[in-house]
Structure 1
Amino acid sequence: DGYDFDSAWEDSKVNRREKLIMDCLTDTDSDGDIIWTDKQILSTELKQLAGFGKGGEKNFQGITTELMMKTYLVTADFHRRRNKKGAEYGMPVSVLLPPEALWGYDAITSAYNESPYESWKRIVYRIKQLYPDADKAEIIKLIGKEPK
Structure 2
Amino acid sequence: MKEINSFQDFVKELREAGFTIGGEKGDGIFTLSDSFGEKIAWHTEDPDTDPWEWRMRVLDEYRDIAYGKLFFHKSGYLTKEWYPYFLAVRRGKRELQEEYEEGNVSLMAKRIYDVLCEEKELPVHLLKQYGGFSGEEKSGFEKAVTQLQMDFYISICGRARKRNRKGEEYGWSSTVFCLTENLFGEEVFQKAGKLSYEEAFRQIEKQIYARNPQAKSAKVKKFITG
Bin for the TM-score computed over the shorter chain: 0.5 to 0.7
1: CA distance, partners of 2:162 / 2:134: 18
CA drift of 1:58 comes to: 5.6
Aligned length: 120
In the other structure, the counterpart of 2:161 is 80
Percent identical? 26
**Deviation of the 1:64 alpha carbon:** 0.6
- The alpha carbon displacement at 1:98 in A equals 1.2
CA contact (8 A) 1:51 1:57 kept: no
1:99 corresponds to: 180
After TM superposition, give the deviation of residue 20 of structure 1 in Å.
0.7
Deviations 1:21-75 (A, max 9, x none): 1111124xxxxxxxxx53x411111112222124668621111111111111110
Q: Using a 3 Å threshold, how does the CA distance of structure 1 residues 83 and 8 change in structure 2: closer, same or farther?
A: same
C-alpha separation in 1, matches of 2:131 and 2:152: 19
Deviation of 1:18 (Å)? 0.8
**Which of the pair has the greater relative contact order for Cα pairs under 8 Å at 6+ separation?**
2
Aligned to 1:47: 128
Q: Name the one with the larger helix percent.
A: 2
Name the CA distance, whole Å, in 1 between partners of 2:206 and 2:123: 32
Indicate the residue corresponding to 2:41 in structure 1: none
d(CA) in 1 for partners of 2:96, 2:116: 12
Query: Separation in 1 of the partners of 2:96 and 2:152?
Result: 10
Determine which of 25, 32, 46 is the counterpart of 2:116: 25
TM-score of the pair, normalised by structure 2: 0.44
Name which of structure 1's ranges 111-120 and 9-18 shifts more when overlaid on structure 2. Answer: 111-120
What residue in structure 2 maps to residue 118 of structure 1? 203
